[in-house]
Structure 1
Amino acid sequence: MAVFQFSRRFSSLSSNPLRVCVVGSGPAGFYTAEKMLKAHQRAQVDIIDRLPTPFGLVRSGVAPDHPETKIVVNQFSRVAQNDRCSFFGNVSLGSSISLSELRELYHVVVLSYGAESDRALVVPGEDLAGIHSAREFVWWYNGHPDCKDLALDLKSTDTAVILGQGNVALDVARILLRPTMELATTDIASHALSALEESSIRKVYLIGRRGPVQAACTAKELREVLGIKDLYIHIQEADLLKTPADEEELKNSRIQRRVYELLSKAANSGCSHPRSGQRELHFIFFRKPDRFLDSDDRSGHVTSVRLEKTMLKESDGSGKQIAVGTGQFEDLECGMVLKSIGYKSVPVDGLPFDHRKGVVPNIRGRVVTDTSGDPTQLEEGLYVAGWLKRGPTGIIATNLYCAEETVATISEDLELGVLASTSSLPKPGREGLLQLLDSRNVRVLPFSAWEKINAEEKRLGSLRSKPREKLTTWDELLKVATQ
């Protein structure tokens, strides 16, 4: 096993630097580190991540056929290579080190580890085989080491149902329906490409509780899936009828207007029936899942989803319309279901957590212990950014503004003297972290280890005319990282 030499790069700093630890190396984590380094010349920032690889959802969430979105890793790499910044992979909050220990080691701890679990529907049959979360499917085709061996059966059915109509749902539909020869030149994981090449899926149904006016996707994503070669698109024209409340919603949102226009155009420009063998994409509006039905032939495996028809009514004066059930049901046969109903963050010991919202209670990034009292009780030196702070919404750039707000809050607390002063209370920071992890035999992987993985993936990719061939198991990643 290689022994990494962590050089003492901080001798030029003042004797008592501001020690900052960022947990999670996705966009929110890297933007937070970048803004902290810029705002505070005495800051020494360490980014830790449970994976051997940095960049979070840029690596494991962005679709392989969206390479332009991944260019941001160049900016993040420059942050990691800053003299006052270090990345430490293979360090898991909770098992490698506790939150209370990090808070002892650092003046400031920013949690930005995102959302690594899924919301549940809580309907009967949800645990049947053949039902997966969209997150698992996305991690599977993106080569995340936790999902390489996902028990995904693409051969036994020709029909997949995707619950949800947001951008992740559209990504998933596109990967299932796009010609594999077009995916072969992307950085899609090789195990996923092989499975998709042998896939029997020909029909994909995108199910939404509300109507086309309320579809949660963006025009760019929708345009892309509608533009797949030789794809039959089906949308019920009756679903496109607008109410006065719909007209009001469209008037207030340019994005929703554009999405509605694209759906209307797709409904009117296609053929009335698919050709034999043609792949199909069906947009099903005004339906919500009621239960999943078991197969007679394959006991324990999903065979259909029972959908309840919905109608829209205005919620409590917000102007938004919500879907309510009508008591009318229909069954849609399928052999695979992907739930794209939202990611969910997970708590760690010692962290206040709102289980209903799936976020850490906070005020502009400051972690709140108790909101009931006056004044509100704050957790000194503990902050959040990204999905853990605001919920799993937005695009990569949303995390930039989110991180800016959290760093502004930290700066404010430093100026007000809310945080322990670096002069009165020096902290061990990075040196203390490495000593503690070493005593626990945690194999810490610095950014140079990621650079070895990166080089090897690019080398393997060049052999297949791909930008990279991802290493998709923990063993492979650790072996290459420590060579």
Structure 2
Amino acid sequence: MSRSIAVIGAGPSGFYAVDGLVRALPDARIDIIDRLPCPYGLVRYGVAPDHQGTKAVQRQFERLLAKPIVRFIGNVEVGRDVAIADLAALYDALIIATGCSRDRRLGIPGEDLAGVVGSGAFVGWYNGHPDFAELDPLRPDMHTVAVIGAGNVAIDVARVLAKTADEMVKSDIAPHAAAAIAGLDLTEISLVARRGPADANFTGNELAEMSRLAAFQATVQSEVLDGVTAPDSDPAPERMRKAKNLELLRSFAAADTPRRLRFQFWGMPVALHGVDGKVRELELADTRHPERRWRQPADLVVTCIGYDPSPPVGLLLERGHIAHDDGRVRDLPGAYVVGWAKRGPTGVIPTNRADSLALVKVVVDDLAAPPASEKAGPGGLDALLSARGVRIVDSAAWRRIETAENAAGQAEGRPRVKLGTWRLLEQAAHGEP
């Protein structure tokens, strides 16, 4: 008897799990369910638009979608179109790979002022995510930006804002975002980190890119770096990464330039101040000496401080992730969790591969026991969605979206031009004018 498995979430964790399942259970029936009409999750909507090399992993995922035992079921939202209990009843195993999509809040006064936006929303906006098509986060009177965070997401946000239109010409940035950014006259972008330079989580390649910007000069105050070294207590690879970062930071000029991208350490946000409902200043305290406070101009504030999960209704959260024991979801037999939904928003795309393959071993071991009864599987889901009038986007419909985007990109010399609204995606998926 072939086993049926549903994977909720078509991002990297979900696809890496499917890869492991295809190898371990070649006669299984596997459905990948996603609320979006497009697969690939953060690879499509989270990776920076000027980092096309990082998106190359899509080709591996495309090969999985071509497998006869794998189906993509897009435009199906668990909790709206189908309950998680329904899926648990239909499939022999259920793998939840829904990630973390809600921006964490700073929890300080002024956070709801216009011009304050979380990185998840902001990155989704410039990457053409349909949920953020109407976000409109920029205003022509914005000149100063504060990007709060010390990781690669913060670096990505700052770089995309700093790059010229010519520097982004080979990217797949959403056209509306490209036009809005090009219309700004920015003079300063500050990357604000609560801790010191040795604690920053930037990777060396991302940091090095900041020295090659055409319009902005990367700067850091030299005294912040005086005497700072990578801790000897860190494991060797981490120590080497931090040492390289410190070397790069020391190479950045401390000069006052017309347009600067400033790395600012030991700054803890304590308040945001506005005029007429719009943010104008960021108030910071010295993390080491909290009594020392100051304000600096900030017409746009992008928070890059992490994400929280939005799990399917009925699942318990624990310490920022879905509650589980070795990947087995508590209180829902036959359900498993993987990726950010399992461990929180840590690690880069390849990190998820090892996590997903480890989870697959748990699933396969559990499925070795004979089933109590045969479950309806994919056929049961098809019948349920049809009865409820849900218009799915399958692999063929997704390929129509992809073909339209690639053709538009080819006409402009870009990798693709994403269809950035729900309506445009639906029209392309179903061949509608």
TM-score range, shorter chain: over 0.9
2:145 maps to a residue whose letter is A
- Count of matched residue pairs: 430
State the shift of 1:466 in Å: 1.1
SS at match of 1:331: strand
Q: Counterpart in 1 of 2:98?
A: 113
Rounded to whole Å, the distance in 2 between the matches of 1:345 and 1:271 is: 39
1:272 to 250, 255, 275: 255
Structure 1 position 425 matched with structure 2 position 373: yes
SS at match of 2:412: coil
Query: 1:426-441 residue pairs with structure 2 within 5 A?
Result: 426-441=374-389
SS at match of 2:294: strand
2:278 to 301, 325, 328: 301
1:245–1:90 distance in 2 versus 1, CA, 3 Å: closer
- Are the counterparts in 2 of residues 213 and 250 from structure 1 also a CA contact under 8 Å? no
1:338 maps to a residue whose letter is V
1:290 to 256, 270, 277: 270
Q: Counterpart in 1 of 2:78?
A: 93
- Are the counterparts in 2 of residues 177 and 202 from structure 1 also a CA contact under 8 Å? no
Rounded to whole Å, the distance in 2 between the matches of 1:151 and 1:141 is: 10
Unaligned runs of 5+ in 1: 1-15, 312-324, 370-378
State the shift of 1:247 in Å: 5.4
1:365 to 309, 327, 333: 327
- Are the counterparts in 2 of residues 177 and 279 from structure 1 also a CA contact under 8 Å? no
State the shift of 1:151 in Å: 2.5
Rounded to whole Å, the distance in 2 between the matches of 1:243 and 1:38 is: 48
SS at match of 2:349: coil
Larger radius of gyration: 1
The C-alpha deviation readout for 1:5-62, integer Å capped at 9, x for no partner, is xxxxxxxxxxx32110000000001111111111112311100000000000000001
Unaligned runs of 5+ in 2: none
The C-alpha deviation readout for 1:66-93, integer Å capped at 9, x for no partner, is 1111111111011111011100100001
Rounded to whole Å, the distance in 2 between the matches of 1:198 and 1:230 is: 14
State the shift of 1:148 in Å: 1.3
Q: Counterpart in 2 of 1:281?
A: 261
RMSD: 1.6
Q: Counterpart in 2 of 1:373?
A: none
Rounded to whole Å, the distance in 2 between the matches of 1:245 and 1:26 is: 34
With 147-156 and 327-336 compared, the bigger mean Cα shift is at 147-156
Rounded to whole Å, the distance in 1 between the matches of 2:228 and 2:140 is: 42
- Are the counterparts in 1 of residues 7 and 94 from structure 2 also a CA contact under 8 Å? yes
1:192–1:271 distance in 2 versus 1, CA, 3 Å: same
Query: 1:183-332 residue pairs with structure 2 within 5 A?
Result: 183-242=168-227, 246=231, 248-249=233-234, 253-266=239-252, 270=253, 272-274=255-257, 278-295=258-275, 299-311=276-288, 326-332=290-296
With 224-233 and 211-220 compared, the bigger mean Cα shift is at 224-233
1:260 maps to a residue whose letter is L
Rounded to whole Å, the distance in 2 between the matches of 1:247 and 1:310 is: 23
1:264 maps to a residue whose letter is R
Q: Counterpart in 1 of 2:360?
A: 407
State the shift of 1:301 in Å: 1.0
Rounded to whole Å, the distance in 2 between the matches of 1:244 and 1:169 is: 22
SS at match of 1:448: helix
- Are the counterparts in 2 of residues 139 and 147 from structure 1 also a CA contact under 8 Å? yes
State the shift of 1:271 in Å: 6.0
Query: 1:17-36 residue pairs with structure 2 within 5 A?
Result: 17-36=2-21
Rounded to whole Å, the distance in 2 between the matches of 1:112 and 1:367 is: 12
1:184–1:20 distance in 2 versus 1, CA, 3 Å: same
2:402 to 432, 454, 470: 454
Q: Counterpart in 2 of 1:8?
A: none
SS at match of 1:180: coil
Rounded to whole Å, the distance in 2 between the matches of 1:242 and 1:412 is: 52
- Are the counterparts in 2 of residues 167 and 218 from structure 1 also a CA contact under 8 Å? yes
2:300 to 313, 323, 336: 336
- Are the counterparts in 1 of residues 198 and 229 from structure 2 also a CA contact under 8 Å? no
SS at match of 1:33: helix
Structure 1 position 470 matched with structure 2 position 432: no
Rounded to whole Å, the distance in 2 between the matches of 1:66 and 1:449 is: 26
With 145-154 and 123-132 compared, the bigger mean Cα shift is at 145-154
Structure 1 position 51 matched with structure 2 position 15: no
The C-alpha deviation readout for 1:101-137, integer Å capped at 9, x for no partner, is 1000001000001111111111111111110001111
How does the TM-score come out when normalised to structure 2? 0.96
1:346 maps to a residue whose letter is S
How does the TM-score come out when normalised to structure 1? 0.86
SS at match of 2:287: strand
Rounded to whole Å, the distance in 2 between the matches of 1:464 and 1:244 is: 46
SS at match of 2:270: strand
Runs of 4+ in 1 over 4 A off after TM superposition: 243-252
Rounded to whole Å, the distance in 2 between the matches of 1:78 and 1:233 is: 41
- Are the counterparts in 1 of residues 17 and 356 from structure 2 also a CA contact under 8 Å? yes
State the shift of 1:244 in Å: 8.1
The C-alpha deviation readout for 1:315-366, integer Å capped at 9, x for no partner, is xxxxxxxxxx522110011111000000211132221212xx3201223321
State the shift of 1:250 in Å: 8.6
Q: Counterpart in 2 of 1:383?
A: 336
The C-alpha deviation readout for 1:366-414, integer Å capped at 9, x for no partner, is 1234xxxxxxxxx421101111011111111111111001101112223
SS at match of 1:170: helix
Rounded to whole Å, the distance in 1 between the matches of 2:308 and 2:128 is: 20
- Are the counterparts in 1 of residues 98 and 311 from structure 2 also a CA contact under 8 Å? no
Structure 1 position 143 matched with structure 2 position 128: yes
